Amino acid sequence: MPGARPGPGRRSVLRAAGGGLLAAGGFGALSACGIPAAGKSEGGIAADDRSAKEKRLAFSNWTEYMDVDKKKRRPTLDAFTKRTGIEVEYTEDINDNNEFFGKVKPQLAAGQDTGRDLICVTDWLAARLIRFGWVQKLDPAQLPHAYANLSAQFRSPDWDPGRAYSYPWTGISTVIAYNKKATDGERITSVSQLLDEPKLKGRVGFLSEMRDTMGMVLLDLGKDPAKFTDDDFDAAVARLQKAVDKKQVRRFTGNDYTADLDKGDLAACVAWAGDVVQLGLANPDIEFVVPESGYITSTDNLLIPNKARHKRNAERLIDYYYEPGPAARLAAYINYVCPVDGVRDELAKLDPEAAANPLILPDKAMAAKSHAFRSLTPEEETAYEGAFAKLTGS
């Protein structure tokens, strides 16, 4: 169902906010608010699970992150309710990670119910919630499809080894995008071209999300974003600073890069794959490239907060979206990386182009080039976000 979703995906709207709270005050600011220092969670705090008696659950998600039909119904959620009898109170009340963290922080810190049984947050915030012990360990016995069908590249992030507390809702790939008309037909295939190609001067964009931009520069320098050192990070900052100083880079952007790339004001940029898929549906001049050096992968993740009252119902919903049918219908609508193996045939019935698009279903070659930005200590996060903010002028 190409074009069913209006405009670029929600990913372009929010990533710039990631880490801003830490850049401003670090984990010391969190501790001052009564939040415990990061520590290894032992499984969170359960409530009396009312799932057997109360056939419902409350699910908080991002905007435009669920399939919707022409009548504004949500087909996959409706099918889940019809099958299980479980009503889903579905709320799109997550606009950015820090803002949502501020909403749920007081209840979680006090050991209280947030009123939500299932939430969807980006990996760095998922990691923080797990460290604080504010989410519950999942029951593998309730997740047979999720356990069997989770794609290999998402199985064991360093912040949640073995996916004990989380399962991906979608994957987010950071790639290079360019406008063929704006580059006079020249293919842009590397971050080095973005940083050094004279023909692109003043028409290059990087993302205002530190992990995506710095991860891509680290890869271009031959460094592994999963293992880099302070010296590696400093070298990447210096490499990017040089391009900024010579005005090679037009700006660091959040959602607004999509309009500039579409018009050609940006000839090439680091971009989020879901946006590139959507732009390409309307503008055939928009192309993407996965550099030989690789690309950055992150995830948005489903977690069950402490004191959630319908944990088993929430686990049933997680598992449902790891069945190929519902997973395919979701992927056909939102156009982000589907983390579910075995979905290709189902997706091809709905949208052959989506099924063949490696930005939605990565093939082995693309999956092999994916790299995750490693988890940071509180001290690293404060320092790296601060250095990046100075570089970008934010």
Question: Is residue 288 within 8 Å of residue 366, measured between CB atoms?
Answer: no
The region, left, alpha or beta by phi > 0 then psi within -120 to 50, assigned to residue 176 is beta
Nearest to 243 by CA among 205, 211, 188: 205
Three-state SS sequence of 268-321:
EEEEEHHHHHHHHHHCCCEEEECCCCCEEEEEEEEECECCCCCHHHHHHHHHHC
Residue with tokens 């509180």: 378
pLDDT for the residue 43: 58
From-to residues of CATH 3.40.190.10 in the chain: 56-165+304-322, 172-297+378-392
CATH number of 172-297+378-392: 3.40.190.10
Nearest to 15 by CA among 94, 117, 81, 131: 94
Question: Is residue 233 within 8 Å of residue 384, measured between CB atoms?
Answer: yes
What is the separation, in whole angstroms, between the first and last Cα of the chain? 38
User: What is the spatial distance between Cα 153 and Cα 361, in angstroms, rounded to a whole number?
Assistant: 12
Per-residue tokens: 136: 């519950």
**For the whole prediction, is pTM greater than 0.85?**
no
pLDDT for the residue 95: 83
- Residue 270 CA neighbour count, 13 Å, CB half: 36
pLDDT for the residue 255: 61
CATH number of 56-165+304-322: 3.40.190.10
Residues facing 337 on adjacent strands = 171
pLDDT for the residue 113: 95
Q: What is the pLDDT along the chain (394 residues), one digit of tens a residue?
A: 333 333 444 444 443 333 333 333 333 333 333 334 333 444 567 778 999 999 999 999 998 899 999 999 999 999 999 999 999 999 999 987 888 999 999 999 999 999 999 999 999 999 999 999 999 999 999 999 999 999 998 999 999 999 999 999 999 999 999 999 999 999 999 999 999 999 999 999 999 889 999 999 999 999 999 999 999 999 999 999 999 999 999 999 876 799 999 999 999 999 998 888 889 889 999 999 999 999 999 999 999 999 999 999 999 999 999 999 999 999 999 999 999 999 999 999 999 999 999 999 998 889 899 999 999 988 998 999 999 999 998 6
